[in-house]
Structure 1
Amino acid sequence: MSSANRDLFEEPGSASPLAYDDAVDAWLAAREEYGVIREQSSVAVYRSMWAALSAWCVGRALALDALKAEHLEAYLLSRGGTDELSARYAWRLLTLVDEVLSHRARVNDLPRNSVALDLLMATPEWRFANASDKTPLPDHLHAHEAKALVSWLLDPANGSAVAGAPAHTWQALRNRTAVALQLGAGLSPGDIRAAVVDGIVCDGAKVAGLPWKIRLPAHGSIPAREAPIAQWAGRLLRTWLDTRCALQITGTALFPAARSGRPWGKVAQYTAAKAVLAAAGVPEAEGGSFKLRHTFALRQLRRGTSADQVAQWMGLADAAALARYRRVLLAPATEVV
């Protein structure tokens, strides 16, 4: 039911159908605003799933904010069967409920009810029903590894030294800065190569002149977007920008391959990032420098940033793509960066 059609005197108590309607309407509106729902067919599926749950709960006078695991489990089992299709439905529904309840808690300053996520994680046949959740956990840096890498990246931060200084060539500074943005802003290797100088935002920074945000152009299937830059990464980026200017490196690319501004090639950039991580003592991983991007995502989610916002920062079309991070987040809460 759209809130625009309700009776002016109806009060949306937590056990009222209006509470359920309001919750899913607000969640869908937020996702559409961030551009993570692009097809109306997806909206229809979400509404259909939520409407069925809502009718079942309201018929039993179950308040939305007081849902318990036994309520959700009883509802799912009432849908019939324990086959693979039912398990996939359970995964989708519990993920939907968790997202809606999390959004409702956030916007209304309420305690978060994690009942849906708890039930999902406690029920293996549902937890692993979705294909993407059967994949290995995303490789990421643990807290001590991330801190060590940040310290290593910043240690030669006097990399603004004159061109030709043996230990601090401009290419070495470029490479370290690029890696810093993968960890401190969640950029992918493709983002690194697509980034432009004019996309760096310093205005409005807490520290004058320090980059705090990057605007990335659309490239490939990734839409144009903005992403925040961690302050430590911003310091290294400031050093790189100053060095780039001092050496009169031309072109629009933030990280060019040559002083002439020639774009950085895919293989060359990959090799450079791999060398930086090896020099910093970061164990080699199959996903290469993508583990830095995974670490950024996990840190943001652990800090309470919404999945929708993190997905937007990372250029993901649907926040559901972040679902595989859920298992990592169940580990003891320690800052990853």
Structure 2
Amino acid sequence: MTSLPLFEDAPREGHRLAFERWLHDQQAQGSLRLASSVEVYRDMWGAFAAWCLGQSPAVTLEALDARDLQAFQAERYGMKSSDLSLSPRHALRLLRLIDRVLRHHAAVTDTPVNTVAADWIAANPEIRYAEAAASDPLPEFLSVSETKQLIIFLSHARPRPHLSEERRAAQASFSWQEVRNRAAVALQLGAGLTPGDVRVLTLDGPTSQGGRVRERPWKVAVPGNGNSPAREAPIAPWAGDLLQHWLRVRADARIEGHFLFPSTRSGKAWSKESHYKAAKQVLDEAGLDAADGGSFRLRHTFALRQLRRGADSEQVARWLGVEPEAMARYHRVVAAPQDVI
């Protein structure tokens, strides 16, 4: 005889069905065509639903109120860090998704509409106007000369033919941490990765097979998270050379674990604070202003460089793990007479 569960899991099923029904209708109407967009919305809803179901008692869609959204927002904002993993724009997108699913759920079930998400947006100007032009400044990026300066500085960490004895000695003196730090910064500039992306990369992320140069990584697989789907991004050849050298250094140092850029020899994950300080130090040593978490400029420079070279906007968005609409701020720069390498 099969025993019955001690607790009903109706709330869990209700959250899942509400989203899946909304998603099905959006796809049927042609409003959601890109698989990457679907994954983003699925991850966003999954994070929200997990929070609701983790409360005691679980928060149902019908009972969801402003206090719940306040608690949810407070918890998420508590996770905010220098890599801007949760921004007002993301909060706006998330609340809009909640509102759309709630309205669709009410229509399907013939129940009163829960307008709590829409009410929350209206009552919080910092969220409501997150996509306004005044709240969407142009991305900061490196100039042509700054980018060349940084690439030269980063590349000094790897061995190259025809180096002088002095340069060979200087290169040999690099610690494994210094090579790691430069290779990590290289992937932000040369592959458009965020600081958070860099920290979660694993050893099977880089791909060398099929590239133009033997053993040199030419693309990297980035795991998905609540803000963006899993994706692949191309690696600039100079960054691939440095990453290839780091992989050799990592192996020679017998560093353990599965993280591509671990914090310790035992393979411990790189913390946000430690990684932030390491990236800042690299930029400082390269002679660039690293104030205010400036490593995000590297990702913006990558995006602008790709667009200037004629890359398709939606393709660049996929490389970055963002919605195509987010490319508008980059096009505002590309359309202007700015120097971008």
1:280 and 2:286 correspond: yes
Counterpart in 2 of 1:144?
A: 145
Counterpart in 2 of 1:156?
A: 157
CA deviation profile, 1:5-40 (whole Å, cap 9, x unmatched): xxxxxxxxxxxxxxxxxxxxxxx98x8245236799
TM-score (norm 1): 0.59
- Between Structure 1 and Structure 2, how many residues are aligned? 218
1:311 and 2:312 correspond: no
User: Within 5 Å, which residues of 2 pair with 1:105-144?
Assistant: 131-132=132-133, 134-144=135-145
2:37 is paired with a residue whose SS is coil
Query: Which moves more between the two structures, 294-303 or 323-332?
Result: 323-332
Query: Which moves more between the two structures, 217-226 or 202-211?
Result: 217-226
CA deviation profile, 1:62-106 (whole Å, cap 9, x unmatched): xxxxxxxxxxxxxxxxxxxxxxxxxxxxxxxxxxxxxxxxxxxxx
> Following the alignment from structure 2 to structure 1, what is the Cα–Cα distance between the partners of residues 175 and 306?
33
CA deviation profile, 1:264-305 (whole Å, cap 9, x unmatched): 000000000000000001123434200000000101111111
User: Within 5 Å, which residues of 2 pair with 1:1-337?
Assistant: 32-33=33-34, 35-36=36-37, 131-132=132-133, 134-158=135-159, 167-316=173-322, 318-332=323-337, 334=339, 336-337=340-341
1:226 is paired with a residue whose SS is strand
RMSD (Å) for aligned C-alpha atoms: 2.9
Q: Which amino acid aligns with 2:147?
A: A
**Are the counterparts in 2 of residues 139 and 287 from structure 1 also a CA contact under 8 Å?**
no
Structure 1 residues without counterparts, runs of 5 or longer: 1-27, 41-128
Q: Which amino acid aligns with 1:324?
A: R
Superposed displacement of residue 333, structure 1: 6.3
1:296 is paired with a residue whose SS is helix
**Are the counterparts in 2 of residues 215 and 225 from structure 1 also a CA contact under 8 Å?**
yes
The 1:206–1:39 alpha-carbon spacing in structure 2 relative to 1, beyond 3 Å, is closer
**Are the counterparts in 1 of residues 276 and 293 from structure 2 also a CA contact under 8 Å?**
no
**Are the counterparts in 1 of residues 201 and 222 from structure 2 also a CA contact under 8 Å?**
yes
> Following the alignment from structure 2 to structure 1, what is the Cα–Cα distance between the partners of residues 33 and 134?
24
Superposed displacement of residue 132, structure 1: 4.3
**Are the counterparts in 1 of residues 141 and 297 from structure 2 also a CA contact under 8 Å?**
yes
2:204 is paired with a residue whose SS is helix
**Are the counterparts in 2 of residues 175 and 273 from structure 1 also a CA contact under 8 Å?**
yes
Q: Which amino acid aligns with 1:271?
A: K
> Following the alignment from structure 2 to structure 1, what is the Cα–Cα distance between the partners of residues 338 and 35?
27
CA deviation profile, 1:191-233 (whole Å, cap 9, x unmatched): 0001001111000000111100001112343211111000000
**Are the counterparts in 2 of residues 36 and 312 from structure 1 also a CA contact under 8 Å?**
no
Counterpart in 2 of 1:116?
A: none
1:32 is paired with a residue whose SS is coil
Give the 4+ runs in structure 1 shifted more than 3 A.
36-40
2:300 is paired with a residue whose SS is helix
Q: Which amino acid aligns with 1:141?
A: L
Superposed displacement of residue 332, structure 1: 3.1
**Are the counterparts in 2 of residues 298 and 329 from structure 1 also a CA contact under 8 Å?**
yes
**Are the counterparts in 1 of residues 208 and 216 from structure 2 also a CA contact under 8 Å?**
yes
Superposed displacement of residue 166, structure 1: 8.5
The 1:39–1:264 alpha-carbon spacing in structure 2 relative to 1, beyond 3 Å, is closer
**Are the counterparts in 2 of residues 36 and 319 from structure 1 also a CA contact under 8 Å?**
no
> Following the alignment from structure 1 to structure 2, what is the Cα–Cα distance between the partners of residues 309 and 32?
14
TM-score (norm 2): 0.58
> Following the alignment from structure 1 to structure 2, what is the Cα–Cα distance between the partners of residues 134 and 193?
28
> Following the alignment from structure 2 to structure 1, what is the Cα–Cα distance between the partners of residues 306 and 226?
25
> Following the alignment from structure 1 to structure 2, what is the Cα–Cα distance between the partners of residues 150 and 193?
21
**Are the counterparts in 2 of residues 202 and 209 from structure 1 also a CA contact under 8 Å?**
yes
CA deviation profile, 1:114-148 (whole Å, cap 9, x unmatched): xxxxxxxxxxxxxxx96046532111001111011
